[in-house]
Structure 1
Amino acid sequence: MSFGAFVRRHSAAGELVVQPRMGFGDVALMRAGLAEVKRAKAPTVGTITLDSYTRLGDLESAGRALRDGNPINGYPILNHSAGTTREMIEGLAGEDFPIQVRHGSPKPLEIFRGMIRAGLYATEGGPVSYCLPYGRTPLAESIREWTVSCQELSAVRDTGREPQLETFGGCLMGQLCPPGLLVAVSVLEAMFFRSLGLRSVSVSYAQQTNAAQDREAVWALRRLCAELLPGVDWHVVIYTYMGVYPRSPEGARDLLAESVRLAVATGSERLIVKTVAEANQLPTIAENIEALELAAATTAQARREGLALPVVGDGGQTYQEALALIDAVLNCGPDLGRALVTAFGRGLLDIPFCLHPDNAGRTRSYLDGEGRLRWSDIGAMPLARVVESRPEGDKLTARGLMEALSRVQRTFDDRVLEGADRRSALASGAR
């Protein structure tokens, strides 16, 4: 059973597939983590997250860390032999437990080749979403490498396997990017994958700062995929909030639960979780399992409460913004890879607060009083007839930026403190 078919089967049964971000340099520890995820009381897929050295192509440093016994923040798949990785997943990977490789690389060709040699056929990323926000690799270079990578991954279908590729486009910068642009890039990367032979894809969206706006954004994403990805097996994956995380365990659990409710309410099929440790350190295996099982329990509770909606939304403002951006890119030429380069060169796509040389850097966003992400400056993006007028006083200052970045953390931690204060007051009254 393919990755996509596994997710569809659980979704049809009313279950949300949940997944950790987990990667260890030690082979035995990586296997132990996968085994615990498989045993969790939740419908899960496994994750092999690669280390930052491998992401940057610095295999020498990864190898030196392994030889010296120094910890690294992920699994160095290119330093371990294909046989070693095959042995590591033997008896775990299968129709009841697909495994995805997560990497973060703007130039992933050797990573794709390494995972295919090891018998792994599901991965994620994208030529825009793993290029512009994080490094300085030229966008055109990333597009070229991702083109060959997608072609080689799609060729796996000739062996009877169905590869799966997830776009990271809905998670650009993690925060403070209005959802119209997130949705547009997610759909454009999925269309790019399809143009290169992939027939099973997933489209991502990262939980942001306003629950109602998030629901609208996911409906927009679903509507655009239905319109623009004919003949493709696709599903939606939600990422629990990727910005500054609550420090309190209770606040972290509440934020995770809210992302579960977003997924359930929008019919999303998969969720990437975060743990109580996110504000402080890399999570342990046990903390990942706790998050997975909490997500599964919250899913069941949400469905009992009737949260799943029988009628989908139309995507509202987010749909209109995303469609305008997608149309502008498609009008740049028939080759989608080249069109993306052209669109960024003209500022038709422009990521706020992104310092990459190929990003125009003329757009800005802000949080309104309800916590909705809005545009304060659209630069050259074709949104003048779509976006509401932007009050001059709502432009983001340096202080406002810091406050916006910490809004979610403060909101969820403050709820915990307020609850503790109420309990303390009630206890004092009882005495």
Structure 2
Amino acid sequence: MELKNKKWDLDKFMEFRKEVLQQWPTGKEVDLQEAIAYQKKLGEEKIMAEKLQEAKENEETLIQPRAGVALIEEHIELLKFLRDKGKTDLLPTTIDSYTRQNNYKEAEAGIKESSDEGRSMLNGFPAVNHGVINCRKVVEALDAPLQVRHGTPDARLLAEITLAGGFTDYEGGGISYNIPYAKDVSIEQTLYDWQYVDRLVGYYQEQGVRINREPFGPLTGTLVPPSISHSIAIIEGLLAAEQGVKNLTLGYGQCGNLVQDVAAIKSLEELAQEYLKDYDNIMLTTVFHQWMGGFPQDEAQSFGVISWGAATAALSKATKVIVKTPHEALGIPTKEANAEGLRATKQLINMLKNQELVSNTKLAKEKEMIKKETKQILERVFELGAGDLAQGTVKAFQAGVLDIPFAPSKYNAGNLLPARDDNGAVRYLNHGNLPFSDEVVEFNKQKLEARGEEEAREPSFQMVIDDIYAIGKGMLVGRPRN
């Protein structure tokens, strides 16, 4: 394996496909030229890139849930319910945990058990086991675009089957679906495997088929500073563009401070446009993820968290928002609860559609600092790779220049400690080995010291713990007096 940020030639790609398609018997169902012809016959209403482009041009924010169950008909019924009762604009297919780990034998057992029990015994849709024909049954039963949402370090066979099956959007990346999800998988391996996925999407693009790609923005989901998630999103966007991907949705997970979150979405789009300028005809959109940390157990309080995320998405002008449910603290939601979260989000977005967060010095300062931090990280990544982004990414994780808080991977330094400042914005309590200037380090230090003065305590790890549990307890900042 020789990892370079260079577009795979077609012979190499086709040779690798032979091996990938042999990983499970349903791989035999994939005929790439037939799949391209099938994709070209899909109606415009089922093509994610078309819907996103239209939304971006109209400055609309589309809504999308997470959802997936084990059996074909039940999965169709669930998605139809979310479309009809939840009024969702875009549809997901969340993949089960066995498939995410390429454990197709256990997924097959889960399908059988689900059929025997009459209810889903898997936490998602086992698309690889169901194969191309059954994926097409799902696509053909619905009237909105379908995205594959998963969490798979090696997502090659899943991509082959779902794209041949008519899905028009594929989530994830070699960093965002490795470091936050796996312990023992090397970053070099997943970057290589995801080059395959992006080359596949690029090949579809070359044949006139628009497949949208969406790196997973929230990463570990809790208290991830914007400059960390921005750096990863931009790296994965650039790696995808090198393989021929033309439709990109870059994401960010809500932190909770309105000004910082709006500044994050706006700065993400501006930074991405700047870094992607050498690639032609990139259609860039953004996705805002509602709060990915702990939720209150009380449903009414949960609706407050959902609505705050909806309002932030609308005011930031994100192209779409991933919606949570009032059952987040309780486990897998009912379809009714999922629809309720969607309707609450749609209400807020409709009310705020034509409103803007008034530009002020705080918003401008947040954008400035996010951009400064992100650029300092990315500049060092490029330096480490001597201009090769893929190699630079591997070396940056080794050096802690790229570091994701609370990630399980042994390939992640884990030196970062984020905490909220007195206004709830996420700052660096400990920036580890991130290549920040003295100005940036001092800015973060002063913000956290100001909170410490307000709370009569020194900034410490206890702040981090308090902040992790704060929203679940009904607040944003983890104050000791609460």
Q: Say yes or no: TM over 0.5.
A: yes
SS in 2 for 1:387: helix
Q: String of CA shifts for 1:291-329, please: whole Å, max 9, x gaps.
A: 21221111111236x346689957121111011111211
Change (3 A) 1:220 1:10: closer
1:302 corresponding residue in structure 2: 352
Q: Contact (CA 8 Å) 1:40, 1:289: kept in 2 or not?
A: yes
1:278 corresponding residue in structure 2: 328
Q: Determine the C-alpha separation between the residues in 1 that align with 2:471 and 2:282.
A: 35
Matches within 5 A, 1:328-339: 328-331=380-383, 332-339=385-392
SS in 2 for 1:78: helix
Matches within 5 A, 1:346-361: 346-361=399-414
Alpha-carbon shift at residue 224 of structure 1 (Å): 0.2
Change (3 A) 1:394 1:165: farther
Q: Contact (CA 8 Å) 1:17, 1:44: kept in 2 or not?
A: yes
1:151 corresponding residue in structure 2: 199
Q: Determine the C-alpha separation between the residues in 1 that align with 2:60 and 2:262.
A: 19
Asked if 1:408 is matched to 2:471, the reply is yes
Alpha-carbon shift at residue 402 of structure 1 (Å): 2.9
Asked if 1:59 is matched to 2:104, the reply is yes
* Structure 1: unaligned runs, 5 residues or longer: 415-431
Q: String of CA shifts for 1:279-299, please: whole Å, max 9, x gaps.
A: 102112222222212211111
Q: String of CA shifts for 1:114-146, please: whole Å, max 9, x gaps.
A: 112212231111111111122121111111111
Alpha-carbon shift at residue 31 of structure 1 (Å): 0.3
Alpha-carbon shift at residue 401 of structure 1 (Å): 3.4
1:73 corresponding residue in structure 2: 123
Q: String of CA shifts for 1:155-185, please: whole Å, max 9, x gaps.
A: 11244210111011x3121012222111111
Residues 84-93 or 198-207, more deviating:
84-93
Matches within 5 A, 1:109-188: 109-136=156-183, 137-168=185-216, 170-188=217-235
Alpha-carbon shift at residue 229 of structure 1 (Å): 2.1
1:236 corresponding residue in structure 2: 286
Q: Contact (CA 8 Å) 2:53, 2:283: kept in 1 or not?
A: no
Amino acid at match of 1:4: A
* Structure 2: unaligned runs, 5 residues or longer: 1-43, 478-482
Alpha-carbon shift at residue 245 of structure 1 (Å): 0.8
Asked if 1:396 is matched to 2:449, the reply is no
Q: Contact (CA 8 Å) 2:60, 2:317: kept in 1 or not?
A: no
Q: Determine the C-alpha separation between the residues in 2 that align with 1:176 and 1:211.
A: 14
SS in 1 for 2:171: strand
Matches within 5 A, 1:16-55: 16-40=61-85, 42=87, 44-55=89-100
Q: Match for 2:433 among 363, 377, 380?
A: 380
Q: String of CA shifts for 1:376-416, please: whole Å, max 9, x gaps.
A: 2222211133423335975532x4333211112223599xx
Change (3 A) 1:214 1:378: same
Q: Determine the C-alpha separation between the residues in 1 that align with 2:229 and 2:380.
A: 15
Percent same amino acid among aligned pairs? 24
2:12 corresponding residue in structure 1: none
* 4+ aligned runs moved over 4 Å, structure 1: 308-314, 391-395
SS in 2 for 1:48: strand
SS in 1 for 2:440: coil
Amino acid at match of 2:233: S
2:243 corresponding residue in structure 1: 196
Alpha-carbon shift at residue 109 of structure 1 (Å): 0.7
Q: Contact (CA 8 Å) 1:251, 1:413: kept in 2 or not?
A: no
Q: Contact (CA 8 Å) 1:267, 1:308: kept in 2 or not?
A: no
Q: Determine the C-alpha separation between the residues in 2 that align with 1:199 and 1:278.
A: 34
Amino acid at match of 1:330: F
Q: Match for 1:216 among 260, 263, 268?
A: 263
Q: Contact (CA 8 Å) 1:42, 1:292: kept in 2 or not?
A: yes
TM-score, normalising length from structure 1?
0.89
Q: String of CA shifts for 1:356-391, please: whole Å, max 9, x gaps.
A: 221122222222222221112222211133423335
SS in 2 for 1:349: coil
Q: Determine the C-alpha separation between the residues in 2 that align with 1:258 and 1:119.
A: 34
2:36 corresponding residue in structure 1: none
Alpha-carbon shift at residue 14 of structure 1 (Å): 4.5
Amino acid at match of 1:296: K
Change (3 A) 1:24 1:41: closer
TM-score, normalising length from structure 2?
0.80
1:424 corresponding residue in structure 2: none
